[in-house]
Amino acid sequence: MRFSPLILLPLVVKALPAKPSIPELNVNQWISVQSGFTDNLKSLSSWSWNKAEDVIDELEAIAGLNTNTKTNDDKSDLTIWQALKADPHSFSKLVKIIEFEGKAIDYLDDKDLQITFFAPNNDALTAPEHHHHHHHDDDHDSLVELLHNPSLQTLSTALEVEPSLLSEDDEDKHHKHHGDDDDPEKKRRRKEIFRKIAGKVLQYHGLTKAYTAQELAQNSTIATALKAEDGSFGGLHRRIRIDKHFVPPSLKINFYAKVYASDIKARNGYLHAINHPLIPPGSLIDELFLFPDVFSTLTSSVQKLHGREYLDWHYDREHSKPGKPQFHGKPLVTLFAPTNLAFAAIPPKLKFFLFSPFGEHALTKLLAYHYIPDTLLLSELLYIHKEKTSEVDSFANDLGEYTYFTSALADDPSFHKELEISPALPNSTLKIEIDKTKFLPIEGAVKTTIKVNGQEVKVIDVPARNGASHVIDHVLIPPHHHHDHHGKDVAHLDTWANWEDWFPAWVEEA
C-alpha cells in the first residue's frame, strides 16, 4: 500500500513502500480517543450543580483547555511571524522552513489579518535518529520521503541533510560544486517542488480566523487555510479534527498533535504550540489501511469486491501531462466504517456466507448501505456536491449545497438535527441524528454525538482527503420488507440474529 496524502504535482519519482505518516494507534487507543471524553462527561454529570459551579472558575482560570504552559512574555504587539522568530529555542526549525518556503511570511506577518496558526516546536520537527542516514542517494531519498510523508518534520530533515536547498537560486544557476553533475535546471525544479509542498503543509497548520482554545473546543472539525485543488473534497478547505478533554484539560488536533501551549496572543491572531506536525489526511482507504487491528475486515471486504476506487483518490502519474494532472477514485465520500468488532458481532454463518463466492452480491449491497457518495457529512455541516453540467454552470466556483448545523444563540452552540440521507444503495436512506450539547455554562464545554439508524457512532468526524468517516461498532441493518405469518410488517424488529428470516429475500430484491 502507498500512503501519499499530498501528491499535488506531476512528479516522476519511483514508487517506494509507504511509511505511515501519523503515530500508530492500537484498537484501544483508537476507541479511547472519544470514549475517554465520554467517560469524563459521565463523571461530570454525576456531580451536583453546586459542585459544577465550584469548578467553573477553575476551568475558566486555565482557559478551559490550557495546561499551565503559557509564557509570561507578552507577544501581543508582535505578529505571529515575529512571535515565532522571537522564540528560537522553540521554533527555529519551523522558522527555517517558513523562510525557505517564502510566501507564508506575508500571511503570518500581515497586521491586518486575524488568523490562527498551529506551530510544531523543535522537538516535533526532529526526526528519530534512525532517519538520519547519509549516502550518495540522499537527495533522491529526501524527495521520495517527502512525497510519502508530507510533514514539516520531513521537510526539516531534508533542509538539514541538503544544504543546497537553502542556497540562492542564482547560485544554483551559475555554479556547480566539484563533482556535481546535476543539471542546475533540475535542481531549481526540485527546490520548487519542496517549496510548493512546504506551502501546502504550512497552510494546513493555519486557520483563516482567530480562535482561542476555548473557541476551538466548541467545534469537532474546523476548516484550515488549505483548499483542496486536486478535484477532491468538493474543492472545500481541508479540515482538522479537534478533540477536547476536560479532566485533565487538554486539546488534540487530528487525534495525535497535542496543544501544549495555547492562546499565545499575537497582533494578528493566536498561536497554539503543538508537539507533532499536522499532516494533510490521506484518502479514506489509505486511512483504513493504517489501522489493521480495527478495520482489516472492512478493507478485506473492499479488496475482495475490487472496490478500492470507491474510497480512494489518487494521482495518476501515467496519464497525467504537465499542467493537466489526472486523478482516479471518488473525490467526495462519507463512510460509516464498521470495525472488526462490528463484523465479529454478526452470526458466524452469515459472515461465512458474505465472504464466500456466493455472497459477493450480498456483500456489495451491504457495503453500499454504509457509503454516501458526493457527500460530506460532519457533525457540524452537510455538503452535497453537484457536477457542472452546462456552460452556465462552468462560471460557478461551486454548485454544492451547504447546510450548517448551528444554534441561533451565539453563546450556546447546542442543537439537535435529524436528517435522512441516501447512501449508494438504491431506494434506501440512513436516518441521522446529530446532537451538540453544552453541559457547563462556559465556552468549549460541549459534547457532540452522531447516531445512525438509532445507534451511536463511536468515533465521529475523521477527516480524509476525499471526505470523512465515522467509526461504528455495528454493521448497519439495511431497510427491507419482512412480514410475520399474520401479514404484519415486523422489519423494524429484525436483528442480525434472525437474518435467515429476511436477509436472503433482501439480497434478491432489485
Domain final residue pick, 274, 306, 326 = 274
307 and 337 housed in the same domain:
yes
Confidence of residue 48 (pLDDT cuts 50, 70, 90): very low
* DSSP structure class, residue 324: B
Confidence of residue 394 (pLDDT cuts 50, 70, 90): very low
5 lies in a domain?
Answer: no
115 lies in a domain?
Answer: yes
333 and 260 housed in the same domain:
no
Q: Are 446 and 423 in contact (CB under 8 A)?
A: no
Look at residue 73 in the predicted model and tell me its pLDDT.
Answer: 56
104 and 207 housed in the same domain:
yes
Cell 471486504 belongs to 301
Look at residue 14 in the predicted model and tell me its pLDDT.
Answer: 34
3 has pLDDT over 70: no
For the chain, the domain total comes to 2
Confidence of residue 443 (pLDDT cuts 50, 70, 90): low
**Chain centre distance of CA 99:** 27
Element (H, E) at 365: helix 360-368
Sheet of 430-438, strands arranged across: 415-421, 430-438, 446-452, 455-456
292 and 255 housed in the same domain:
no
177 has pLDDT over 60: no
Look at residue 69 in the predicted model and tell me its pLDDT.
Answer: 44
252 and 330 housed in the same domain:
no
Q: Are 92 and 159 in contact (CB under 8 A)?
A: no
35 has pLDDT over 60: no
Closest by Cα among 300, 367, 359, 309 to 335: 367
Look at residue 1 in the predicted model and tell me its pLDDT.
Answer: 40
Instruction: Give phi and psi for 122, each to the nearest 5.
Output: -60, -40
Look at residue 2 in the predicted model and tell me its pLDDT.
Answer: 39
Confidence of residue 40 (pLDDT cuts 50, 70, 90): very low
16 has pLDDT over 80: no
Look at residue 338 in the predicted model and tell me its pLDDT.
Answer: 98
259 and 289 housed in the same domain:
no
CA-based radius of gyration for the chain: 25
Domain final residue pick, 209, 243, 274 = 274
135 has pLDDT over 50: no
> Can you tell me the mean pLDDT for 4-10?
36
Cβ-in-10-Å burial (0-12, 13-18, 19+) of 136 comes to exposed
306-318 pLDDT, tens digit each: 999 999 999 888 8
248-286 pLDDT, tens digit each: 778 999 999 999 999 999 999 999 999 999 999 999 999
* DSSP structure class, residue 479: P
Longest dimension (CA), the chain: 91
Look at residue 65 in the predicted model and tell me its pLDDT.
Answer: 43
Domain final residue pick, 210, 244, 274 = 274
pTM of the model: 0.81
227 and 335 housed in the same domain:
no
Mean pLDDT of the chain: 81
**Chain centre distance of CA 113:** 26
Between vectors from CA 245 to CA 243 and to CA 247, what angle results, nearest 5°? 175
438 lies in a domain?
Answer: yes
Look at residue 36 in the predicted model and tell me its pLDDT.
Answer: 41
Look at residue 81 in the predicted model and tell me its pLDDT.
Answer: 98
146 has pLDDT over 50: yes
Lowest mean pLDDT among 35-49, 84-98, 286-300, 481-495: 35-49
Confidence of residue 411 (pLDDT cuts 50, 70, 90): low
Confidence of residue 156 (pLDDT cuts 50, 70, 90): very high
Q: What percent of the chain has pLDDT over 70?
A: 76
10 lies in a domain?
Answer: no
- Of residues 181 and 249, which shows the higher confidence score? 249
Say whether 313 sits in a helix, a strand or coil. Answer: strand
CA distance 506 to 83: 62
Look at residue 236 in the predicted model and tell me its pLDDT.
Answer: 94
Confidence of residue 46 (pLDDT cuts 50, 70, 90): very low
Look at residue 143 in the predicted model and tell me its pLDDT.
Answer: 75
320 and 399 housed in the same domain:
yes
485 has pLDDT over 90: no
- Of residues 372 and 481, which shows the higher confidence score? 372
Look at residue 389 in the predicted model and tell me its pLDDT.
Answer: 59
299 lies in a domain?
Answer: yes
214 and 347 housed in the same domain:
no
Confidence of residue 397 (pLDDT cuts 50, 70, 90): low
Confidence of residue 470 (pLDDT cuts 50, 70, 90): very high
Lowest mean pLDDT among 31-35, 371-375, 433-437, 460-464: 31-35
325 and 469 housed in the same domain:
yes
Lowest mean pLDDT among 237-241, 389-393, 468-472, 490-494: 389-393
248 and 363 housed in the same domain:
no
Which range, 59-63, 124-128, 355-359, 442-446, has the best average confidence (pLDDT)?
355-359
The boundaries of the domain holding residue 364 are 284-479
Which CATH number does the domain housing residue 241 bear?
A: 2.30.180.10
236: cell is: 472545500
152: cell is: 514539516
Report whether the peptide linkage leading into residue 248 is cis, meaning its omega lies within 30 degrees of zero: yes
207 and 267 housed in the same domain:
yes
Instruction: Give phi and psi for 161, each to the nearest 5.
Output: -85, -15
84 lies in a domain?
Answer: yes
Residue 11 corresponds to which amino acid?
Answer: L
38 lies in a domain?
Answer: no
- Of residues 336 and 53, which shows the higher confidence score? 336
Closest by Cα among 280, 272, 222, 218 to 444: 218
414 lies in a domain?
Answer: yes
Look at residue 187 in the predicted model and tell me its pLDDT.
Answer: 84
Q: How many C-beta atoms surround the C-beta of residue 444 within 10 A?
A: 25
